[in-house]
Chains A and B, each alone.
Chain A
């Protein structure tokens, strides 16, 4: 008969040594099991990415579609911050102020974690991190980055991703169907534009393609050049602006100005061509769809008459640039680089909401994030008149949109040419009769070569 003092017989009762032994074993068991489940010791995490903790500061433009800002700050950033336990702070500023702000932050080595720009800022390559990790993470989830995004943010010479482009914006021609109908022409070719220009101007509705030191003029004129077979650089990043094609393009645009535009185009800001259209005066501009969305929102009487087309075909080809290359950079001195990387990757992976919030303005640089077929469907469902007009955007995006600097990559030298607005300057000098086309192109070529030599010496191209 077993003694009643036998520990094995004492159900539910342990001496001190036994209690410690069992408790220790249980603790080790839970610990081992817990190594596989992060929350085993302390219950489920409140937020999945708790390791990110901290603040994330973002600066970006006040979007041309204001509804996007509301979504980005009040919905996306807020929700993302809660999920990742990060306090996200978004500062919105006017697009024209971004370059000065970037220069100030880079010079002082202090600023926001994520800095957005409307075009890739290759000149800051040494001040920013390599964004390859974000690209790889997004590629892992949604597939390869589009060629446009890669060529705009990757430096093949240094093998560095100097920015992360979350979106690009197709750049159609926006025109007043009623006014063009009146002259019996459509802006399908640049020759048609030249023919219609004097008639439209005579009717009090000039054309509005800027030749000013601003973003839209840059984009429109560089795209216009490509339609004539003229390029700033070739695929090996050698300056190629001095060509008969460029001279022809510059002369052609001067013709359009003289017969169909007004002096206003020399003093434009990025919003000027939009306002020119909204006033009812303009008959055609090259701009993203904010130019049609705002009249729809304001209920302007001619909103239904605003049609969008791909860029007119030139003597050589039909080829346009994106209107905006939405690129985020993470400074090396950023305070919360892990959060900035994750924020970017998550935004891109879930881009459908961004696309819808921007009213089809922002296209994802990773086609897999929102395939063109789905974009087409969403665009077809848009009820604004003429119904289905936004479907053409997918054609423009797929067939007629290339990166700034095409056929090469967007590099530091090209960015400097872009940032100094040397292309609009070249066009304006001819349109204003200050220089002949050949001289203006030669002068531009000289300036470009200086810039390219400098960056080549720095090993960036």
Chain B
């Protein structure tokens, strides 16, 4: 009986602490859902609570989004850019992170910190020079590629790794350091090659770290605005972050309902993804914390 009471007290206390946090964090999602189904005139009626329907729910915002904007194209563009950038990031950051983790002494540490520092340079400083770089590339390659790099989603695919790779490398470096060298040594003694050791021993243990990189890089790409806005001007090539901002605010009139529908749709799979891999995600982030 005492044990039951103690358990209840402990859990109750946990809920007491977690409950308010959960409410605060879930509140924006609640507002998003309510607003997504509100009628336009409801937004301008301040005499009623903004947290519930006054004129009844409507699907007109979703209809507007899908019928009168290029929302599905923005979703597709974002998904393509996200997947390709994540792949590029993994291809570059996994070996780089591993090499840096195994570089002994201060050199490895300094190079790792140096790489991470490049991540901290804000896009607001970089977007002009990078726009020039893309323009130059476009001039040189448009005849060969038969399409313009500038203004296409592929310009973002080229630019985004400039901030995903440094962060992912630094993150993975910390993670690889937590893997005992003895495991690799044992595999090498048993006759495995260096590559075989990496593929059979190191990578399977590193799944939480790699998964963290995947989710984090994808989120960075989905949220990025400055480059996406500068490099792309045609609505049909826009990503979610710029499409919603530029096409759903018509002059002085934000299409609040459509904006919320547009935000809600991608946030659901992302939230599910985060929750499904939550434990591994935390392990990935804290992997290098103690070494």
Contacts and interface: CB of A to CB of B under 8 A. Distances in A.
Q: Identify which of A63, A101, A110 gathers the most chain B CB atoms within 10 Å of its CB.
A: A110
B257 to A, nearest CB: 13
Contacts of A103: 128
A291 B252 CA distance: 8
Interface string A54-89: 000001001111100100000000000000000001
A110 B150 contact: yes
Given A104-B230, A112-B233, A300-B44, A65 B251 contact: yes
B253 to A, nearest CB: 6
A274 interface: yes
Nearest to B148: A110
B252 A91 contact: no
Given A66-B251, A94-B249, A290-B252, A108 B135 contact: yes
B252 A92 contact: no
B29 interface: no
B224 interface: no
Interface string A150-181: 00000000000000000000000000000000
A294 interface: yes
Interface in B232-283: 233-235, 245-247, 249-254
B233 A91 contact: yes
A1 B16 CA distance: 131
Contacts of A94: 245-246, 249
Contacts of B144: none
A458 interface: no
B2 interface: no
Contacts of A108: 128, 131-132, 134-135
A299 B39 CA distance: 13
Contacts of B154: none
A202 interface: no
A66 B127 CA distance: 30
A278 interface: yes
A348 B41 CA distance: 36
A294 B252 contact: yes
B271 to A, nearest CB: 28
A110 B138 contact: yes
A24 interface: no
B230 A279 contact: no
Contacts of B131: 104, 107-108
Nearest to A68: B251
Contact of A59 (B41, B150, B233, B249): B233
Interface string B28-60: 000000000000110011110000000000000
Interface residues of A, number: 36
A138 B207 CA distance: 67
A7 interface: no
B135 A109 contact: yes
B234 A271 contact: no
Contact of A299 (B41, B132, B246, B253): B41
Given A65-B251, A107-B131, A109-B135, A280 B41 contact: no
A270 B230 contact: no
B251 A107 contact: no
A103 to B, nearest CB: 7
Nearest to A288: B252
B229 interface: yes
A64 B234 contact: no
B69 to A, nearest CB: 12
Contacts of B46: 279-281
Nearest to B124: A100
Nearest to B45: A280
A66 B230 contact: no
Q: Identify which of B46, B150, B230, B247 gathers the most chain A CB atoms within 10 Å of its CB.
A: B230
Nearest to B249: A94
A274 B251 CA distance: 10
Interface string A383-425: 0000000000000000000000000000000000000000000
A111 to B, nearest CB: 8
Contacts of B127: 100, 104
Contacts of B249: 62, 94, 271
B44 A298 contact: yes
Contacts of A274: 252-253
A275 interface: yes
A40 interface: no
Contacts of B250: 62, 66, 69
Given A104-B131, A107-B128, A275 B252 contact: yes
Contacts of A65: 251
A92 B242 CA distance: 12
A2 interface: no
Contacts of A294: 251-253
A275 B235 CA distance: 25
Contacts of B235: 91-92
Q: Identify which of B134, B135, B247, B251 gathers the most chain A CB atoms within 10 Å of its CB.
A: B251
Contacts of B233: 59, 91, 93, 101, 112
Contacts of A298: 40-41, 44
B5 to A, nearest CB: 51
A69 B253 CA distance: 14
A97 interface: yes
23 contacts: A62-B246, A62-B247, A66-B251, A91-B234, A91-B235, A92-B235, A93-B233, A97-B229, A100-B127, A101-B230, A103-B128, A104-B131, A110-B150, A271-B251, A271-B253, A279-B44, A280-B44, A280-B46, A281-B46, A290-B251, A294-B252, A299-B41, A300-B44
Closest 4 CB pairs of A and B: A64-B251, A274-B252, A91-B233, A271-B252
Given A107-B128, A107-B132, 20 more contacts: A62-B246, A64-B251, A89-B234, A92-B246, A93-B246, A104-B127, A104-B230, A108-B132, A108-B134, A270-B252, A271-B249, A271-B251, A271-B253, A271-B254, A274-B252, A275-B252, A278-B44, A280-B47, A294-B251, A298-B41
Interface of B: 40-41, 44-47, 127-128, 131-132, 134-135, 138-139, 150, 229-230, 233-235, 245-247, 249-254
